[in-house]
Amino acid sequence: MTRMHKGVLWIPALLLLSSCAGLPSGPHVVLPQQYRMAQAPLVTMFERHSGRIAILDDNGNLVIMDQTGGNVVKITSDGDANASQQSGSTSSLETAYQYPAWSPNAQQIAIVEMNSVRASTSRTIELGADAVTVQRGDQSVTIQQNSTGSTAQRDPGTMSVFQQPSRVIIENSTGGEVINSSIFLASSSGKTPLQELYNQKGGSVGYLDWSPDGTQLGFLAQGQQGETNLSVVPKDAGKRFRVLAGISAAWNWRPDGKAIIAKVDTSNTGNTADLDEWTVQSGKPAVTLQQNTDMPFTTPSYSPDGKAILLTVTTDGHTYLALADRQGNILRQLSPVKGYVSYVWSPTSAQVAYIDTVVSSSDNDLLQGPTGGTLHVLDVNTGVDRVLTPFPVTSFFWSPNGQRIAAFSPVKPGQMMTNFPGMDLTSSQPGSMYMLQTIDVSTRAARLLFYLEPTDAFSRMLDQFDRFSQAATIWSPDSDHLVLSIIDANQQSSIIETEASGSVEPRVLSQGTLAVWSPR
């Protein structure tokens, strides 16, 4: 089985219950209105607000606002992620904030501060058909191609003139060395100073996830040796507890906040992993569920009541989703799966939405980018399995009330429907493009909203949606609105808010790279 990406995982099952994976009558697709109602400025004065939105702006600072773009609170001001790019300066210290995570009560927000030395930028200036002048930075490599072949050279900080080149390519390092990473806690009002919870030198911290009771933060930290650590730190800046270490890890908090289930990969090339329940503060596995087992899923998760776990099992050469108790005993064997599975529990019921993606090992297929898989909703009590949409889906997010799903389907430029009445919010040559639809889970009625090109930060969230769904959401608390981070037609990173019904024109809130809605 071809591995898609490292991540998190689920377990097996026992009784094979009936599943109807087919699409008997096909979903009822409702296209948006041909003429959407425009956003009227006066209406925003009377609009009912739902929660607040945390936004990372273009400089990597954190700001909070409401769904109309008003009531702005600036949480940080020292981010300068774009400073060197805008000035074309040489290497310098850069500060940026990442991975905003709202506390369960929405009174606080955790954020990762990254300080790094960023490589200098390089610029290519075309003077004419006969020559090109190139100013190289200290980390750039210049490759010249002409009739005699190709040559490559590294010559930091110099200017060169290339005579009669057919093409000149500049490779510029956009990475740099991480100096330190810190986790800070801020009040959503912005009226108290940021509180540092954890600091790591020479390594990066990524992906924050609050415990359900709002007292602790789980996070991943990568050390200088490449080892990934899963740790927990109390929100009162107490002692950090290192839970486990491995190649990579994905986890889920138990609803009582006293334990986590974690999948730790044991191989860089396959799907084999260990799956355990860990007591948080002891740093010891309380229950070993599976060891060095092929687990074709990404992020493990408890059921909403914390009494069961969804896993994969193999029986007679076939793989199935299965429901297990917290000791790993199979309660019931559920739907068969053919590929790699990514799943998320409904926030309000015993239903699980999952994508079954079959990946070809062909190099040509892999170069085409994500193709998506079939989106199902499975009732773990009855075993009834329904396909929600005929479109392949790569990622999705449940609405807080569990009634709708926002689903993203990959689209290539030549596949865009010319008669699609949605709003095209893509640039002229997008790197990756998706069609967004919202689906009523009970009726399968769908609203096709519009095409979009995600920002890099939002693309990362989409790629690991099953992990990020546990810590962040793009849905408003009232389940009526969505916030999206896109590249607009002017090649600007923009944050837009839209009704999930698609009946109102999307509203641009600000420039920014990532936005997440508060849970209340």
Nearest to 448 by CA among 434, 460, 435, 432: 435
Straight-line distance from the first to the last Cα atom of the chain, in angstroms, rounded to the nearest whole number: 41
d(CA 285, CA 303): 19
Least trusted range by pLDDT, from 50-59, 245-254, 459-468: 245-254
Please give the single-letter amino acid code of residue 412.
K
Q: For residues 494 and 466, is the Cβ–Cβ distance under 8 A?
A: no
Of residues 96 and 225, more confidently modeled: 96
pLDDT at 224 over 70: no
Of residues 125 and 470, more confidently modeled: 470
Average pLDDT of span 152-165: 54
Least trusted range by pLDDT, from 59-73, 377-391, 407-421, 466-480: 407-421
Q: For residues 219 and 203, is the Cβ–Cβ distance under 8 A?
A: no
pLDDT at 491 over 50: yes
The pLDDT value recorded for residue 7 is: 32
Residue 112, Ramachandran bin (φ over 0: left; ψ between -120 and 50: alpha; else beta)? beta
- Which secondary structure element, helix H or strand E, spans residue 406, and what is its range? strand 404-410
Please give the single-letter amino acid code of residue 315.
T
The pLDDT value recorded for residue 308 is: 93
Confidence of residue 35 (pLDDT cuts 50, 70, 90): very low
Residue showing tokens 């793009």: 474
Which residues does 111 contact at the CB level (< 8 Å), separation at least 6? Answer: 62, 75, 76, 97, 98, 99, 100, 101, 183, 184, 186, 208
The pLDDT value recorded for residue 421 is: 56
Average pLDDT of span 46-65: 91
Least trusted range by pLDDT, from 121-135, 221-235, 280-294: 121-135
Least trusted range by pLDDT, from 20-24, 418-422, 457-461: 20-24
pLDDT at 297 over 70: yes
Q: Cα–chain-centroid distance for residue 16?
A: 33
The pLDDT value recorded for residue 144 is: 44
Tell me the torsion sign for CA atoms 417, 418, 422, 423.
positive
For the stretch 380-410, pLDDT in tens is: 999 999 999 999 999 999 999 999 999 999 9
Confidence of residue 36 (pLDDT cuts 50, 70, 90): low
The pLDDT value recorded for residue 183 is: 94
Of residues 411 and 8, more confidently modeled: 411
Domain ranges across the chain: 29-119+175-517, 123-171
Q: For residues 288 and 299, is the Cβ–Cβ distance under 8 A?
A: no
The pLDDT value recorded for residue 298 is: 84
pLDDT at 149 over 60: no
The pLDDT value recorded for residue 172 is: 45
d(CA 439, CA 431): 26
Confidence of residue 345 (pLDDT cuts 50, 70, 90): very high
The pLDDT value recorded for residue 154 is: 44
Rounded-to-10 torsion of CA 233, 239, 242, 243: -60
Least trusted range by pLDDT, from 260-269, 310-319, 344-353: 260-269
Which letter does DSSP use for residue 39 in this model?
P
Rounded-to-10 torsion of CA 383, 389, 390, 394: -100
Nearest to 244 by CA among 266, 213, 272: 266
Nearest to 8 by CA among 369, 386, 261: 261
Q: Half-sphere exposure of residue 168, counting CA atoms within 13 Å on the CB side? A: 26
Percent of the chain with pLDDT over 70: 70
d(CA 156, CA 138): 4
The pLDDT value recorded for residue 213 is: 93
Confidence of residue 196 (pLDDT cuts 50, 70, 90): very high
Provide φ and ψ at 502, rounded to 5°. 75, 10
Nearest to 393 by CA among 426, 419, 367, 371: 371
Other beta carbons less than 10 A from residue 117's beta carbon: 13
Least trusted range by pLDDT, from 9-23, 117-131, 409-423, 503-517: 9-23
> If you write DSSP's letter for every residue of 422-474 in order, what string do you get?
S-----SS-SS-EEEEEEETTT--EEEEEEE-B-HHHHHHHHTHHHHTTT--S
Q: Which residues pair with 169 in a beta bridge?
A: 143
Q: State the maximum Cα–Cα separation within the chain, in Å, rounded to a whole number.
A: 73
Q: For residues 157 and 137, is the Cβ–Cβ distance under 8 A?
A: yes
> If you write DSSP's letter for every residue of 328-360 in order, what string do you get?
S-EEEEEEEESSEEEEEE-SSSSEEEEEEE---
Percent of the chain with pLDDT over 90: 44
pLDDT at 86 over 50: no
pLDDT at 473 over 80: yes
d(CA 35, CA 23): 31
| Structure tokens given for 22 | 């087919």
Least trusted range by pLDDT, from 231-245, 318-332, 350-364: 350-364
The pLDDT value recorded for residue 460 is: 92
The pLDDT value recorded for residue 391 is: 93
Query: 3-state class of 85 per DSSP?
Result: helix
Q: How many helices (H) and strands (E) does the chain have?
A: 5, 37
Mean pLDDT of the chain: 78
CATH number of 29-119+175-517, picked from 3.40.50.300, 2.60.200.20, 2.130.10.120, 3.40.462.10 = 2.130.10.120
pLDDT at 104 over 90: yes
d(CA 375, CA 409): 10
The pLDDT value recorded for residue 225 is: 64
The pLDDT value recorded for residue 79 is: 83
